[in-house]
Amino acid sequence: MRRDAIRETLAQRCGDAADARAVAEATVGTWLQMAARLAPVIGVRGVDVLFGRALYLTSAKFPWLAISEHGDAAAQLASIRARLEAHEAAVAAEAGYVLLATFTELLATLIGEALTERLLLAVWAPSPPASELAKAS
């Protein structure tokens, strides 16, 4: 169920313009929401360590996603965004999905399925499309 929620969330956030840039923005934006929800529970360092492990595991399938530089989190996210943007949309979408799914699976191993679901439920909850948000303004 969680994997489906991740895939649907990314697809929804990409919208109709599912080009590589939209995929990169959706992936990084979703990641930032996840990190913000998790940092109070497992700490910023815990989030960073799990993300590094997820990135390492994901780079086995997508070697171009591997980051060799050890900068701060913002620099790493900028690098990931650029790497996703440099590939075809379908490949970038799959890489982004695998990265977030791998991270979530590692998290569930650490803190349990129930707590993982509870902490990230708001991230996966569907939000209205941008066109509906514009109408409400």
- pLDDT tens for each residue of 28-73: 999 999 999 999 999 999 999 999 999 999 999 999 998 876 667 7
Q: Does the structure show a pLDDT above 60 at 127?
A: no
Q: Name the token pair of 66.
A: 């591997």
How confident is the model at residue 76, as a pLDDT?
86
Question: CA nearest 103: which of 136, 55, 44?
Answer: 55
At 2, the pLDDT band (50, 70, 90 cuts) reads confident
Q: What is the mean pLDDT of residues 65-83?
A: 83
Hey, what are 96's tokens?
A: 């982004």
- Binned at pLDDT 50, 70 and 90, residue 128 comes out as low
Taking all residues of the chain, what is their mean pLDDT, rounded to a whole number?
88
Distance CA 34, CA 125 (A): 12
The structure's pTM equals 0.86
**Where does residue 91 rank: exposed (0-12), middle (13-18), buried (19+ CB within 10 A)?**
middle
Is residue 129 predicted with pLDDT exceeding 60?
no
